[in-house]
Protein backbone atom coordinates (compact mmCIF):
# COMPACT_ATOMS: atom_id res chain seq x y z
CA UNK A 1 0.00 0.00 0.00
CA UNK A 2 0.98 3.65 -0.30
CA UNK A 3 2.58 5.59 2.53
CA UNK A 4 0.50 8.69 3.24
CA UNK A 5 1.94 11.50 5.31
CA UNK A 6 -0.04 14.40 6.70
CA UNK A 7 0.99 17.54 8.46
CA UNK A 8 0.34 19.07 10.83
CA UNK A 9 -0.54 16.04 12.90
CA UNK A 10 -2.15 18.21 15.52
CA UNK A 11 -2.87 21.89 16.04
CA UNK A 12 -4.80 24.27 18.21
CA UNK A 13 -6.27 27.09 16.17
CA UNK A 14 -7.88 30.40 16.99
CA UNK A 15 -11.44 31.06 15.96
CA UNK A 16 -11.63 32.92 12.65
CA UNK A 17 -8.26 31.77 11.34
CA UNK A 18 -7.53 29.32 8.54
CA UNK A 19 -5.25 26.30 8.49
CA UNK A 20 -3.87 24.31 5.58
CA UNK A 21 -3.29 20.59 5.92
CA UNK A 22 -0.81 18.91 3.61
CA UNK A 23 -0.96 15.35 2.34
CA UNK A 24 1.98 13.65 0.63
CA UNK A 25 1.86 10.17 -0.90
CA UNK A 26 4.95 8.16 -1.72
CA UNK A 27 3.46 6.89 -5.00
CA UNK A 28 1.41 8.43 -7.75
CA UNK A 29 -2.29 7.87 -7.16
CA UNK A 30 -5.26 8.83 -9.26
CA UNK A 31 -7.81 9.29 -6.52
CA UNK A 32 -7.25 11.31 -3.35
CA UNK A 33 -9.94 12.19 -0.86
CA UNK A 34 -10.41 14.29 2.23
CA UNK A 35 -12.54 13.04 5.14
CA UNK A 36 -13.62 14.59 8.40
CA UNK A 37 -14.27 12.71 11.61
CA UNK A 38 -15.96 14.76 14.28
CA UNK A 39 -15.72 13.62 17.91
CA UNK A 40 -17.62 10.39 18.42
CA UNK A 41 -18.72 10.27 14.81
CA UNK A 42 -17.83 8.25 11.78
CA UNK A 43 -16.00 9.39 8.69
CA UNK A 44 -17.64 11.92 6.40
CA UNK A 45 -16.30 12.54 2.92
CA UNK A 46 -15.57 16.21 2.33
CA UNK A 47 -14.39 16.07 -1.26
CA UNK A 48 -12.48 14.25 -3.94
CA UNK A 49 -9.26 16.06 -4.81
CA UNK A 50 -8.93 16.07 -8.59
CA UNK A 51 -5.53 16.53 -10.15
CA UNK A 52 -5.47 19.59 -12.37
CA UNK A 53 -9.08 20.60 -11.79
CA UNK A 54 -11.44 21.76 -9.08
CA UNK A 55 -12.27 19.34 -6.29
CA UNK A 56 -15.62 17.56 -6.22
CA UNK A 57 -17.41 18.41 -3.00
CA UNK A 58 -19.99 16.35 -1.17
CA UNK A 59 -23.30 17.74 -0.05
CA UNK A 60 -22.84 20.11 2.84
CA UNK A 61 -19.27 21.08 1.98
CA UNK A 62 -18.30 24.09 -0.11
CA UNK A 63 -15.13 25.33 -1.71
CA UNK A 64 -15.12 28.63 0.15
CA UNK A 65 -14.95 26.82 3.48
CA UNK A 66 -12.72 23.91 2.42
CA UNK A 67 -10.55 24.92 -0.54
CA UNK A 68 -8.53 21.99 -1.88
CA UNK A 69 -5.51 21.88 -4.13
CA UNK A 70 -4.13 18.91 -6.07
CA UNK A 71 -1.17 20.09 -8.11
CA UNK A 72 0.11 16.59 -8.94
CA UNK A 73 -0.52 12.90 -8.40
CA UNK A 74 1.30 12.71 -5.06
CA UNK A 75 0.24 15.83 -3.17
CA UNK A 76 -2.88 17.61 -1.98
CA UNK A 77 -3.83 20.28 0.52
CA UNK A 78 -7.03 21.00 2.40
CA UNK A 79 -7.62 24.39 3.95
CA UNK A 80 -10.16 24.85 6.72
CA UNK A 81 -11.17 28.50 6.43
CA UNK A 82 -12.56 30.92 8.99
CA UNK A 83 -12.58 28.24 11.64
CA UNK A 84 -15.13 27.92 14.42
CA UNK A 85 -15.24 25.46 17.32
CA UNK A 86 -17.57 23.26 15.21
CA UNK A 87 -14.61 22.62 12.90
CA UNK A 88 -12.74 20.85 15.69
CA UNK A 89 -12.24 17.46 14.14
CA UNK A 90 -9.87 14.94 12.71
CA UNK A 91 -9.16 15.59 9.05
CA UNK A 92 -7.98 12.59 7.08
CA UNK A 93 -6.34 12.36 3.70
CA UNK A 94 -6.99 9.11 1.89
CA UNK A 95 -6.08 7.48 -1.39
CA UNK A 96 -7.59 4.78 -3.53
CA UNK A 97 -5.16 1.96 -4.06
CA UNK A 98 -5.53 -0.86 -6.57
CA UNK A 99 -4.84 -4.34 -5.23
CA UNK A 100 -5.26 -7.75 -6.82
CA UNK A 101 -8.66 -8.33 -5.24
CA UNK A 102 -10.00 -4.83 -5.75
CA UNK A 103 -9.58 -1.16 -4.96
CA UNK A 104 -9.14 -0.11 -1.37
CA UNK A 105 -9.05 3.16 0.54
CA UNK A 106 -6.06 3.87 2.78
CA UNK A 107 -5.77 6.75 5.23
CA UNK A 108 -3.03 9.06 6.34
CA UNK A 109 -2.26 9.54 10.01
CA UNK A 110 -4.78 12.34 10.31
CA UNK A 111 -4.65 15.95 11.44
CA UNK A 112 -6.26 16.67 14.80
CA UNK A 113 -7.56 20.23 14.88
CA UNK A 114 -8.94 21.95 17.96
CA UNK A 115 -10.49 25.39 17.46
CA UNK A 116 -10.66 27.62 20.51
Partner 1 sequence: QKEVEQNSGPLSVPEGAIASLNCTYSDRGSQSFFWYRQYSGKSPELIMSIYSNGDKEDGRFTAQLNKASQYVSLLIRDSQPSDSATYLCAAASGGSYIPTFGRGTSLIVHP
Q: Is 101 in the site for partner 1 (CB under 8 A)?
A: yes
Using an 8 Å Cβ cutoff, are 80 and 21 in contact? yes
Q: Is 45 in the site for partner 1 (CB under 8 A)?
A: yes
What is the maximum alpha-carbon separation in the chain? Answer: 46
* Spatial distance between the Cα atoms of 10 and 49, rounded to a whole number of angstroms: 22
Interacting span for partner 1 (CB under 8 A) from 16-24, 61-69, 75-83, 106-114: 106-114
Contacts of 24 (CB under 8 A, 6+ apart): 4, 5, 6, 74, 75
Q: Is 41 in the site for partner 1 (CB under 8 A)?
A: yes
Nearer to partner 1, 62 or 98 (CB): 98
Which residues of the chain form contacts with partner 1 (CB under 8 A)?
Answer: 1, 31, 33, 41-43, 45, 48, 90, 92, 96, 99, 101-110, 112
Amino acid sequence: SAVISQKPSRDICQRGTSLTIQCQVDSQVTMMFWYRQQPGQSLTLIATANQGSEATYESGFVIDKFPISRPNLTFSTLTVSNMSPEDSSIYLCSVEWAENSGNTIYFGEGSWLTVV
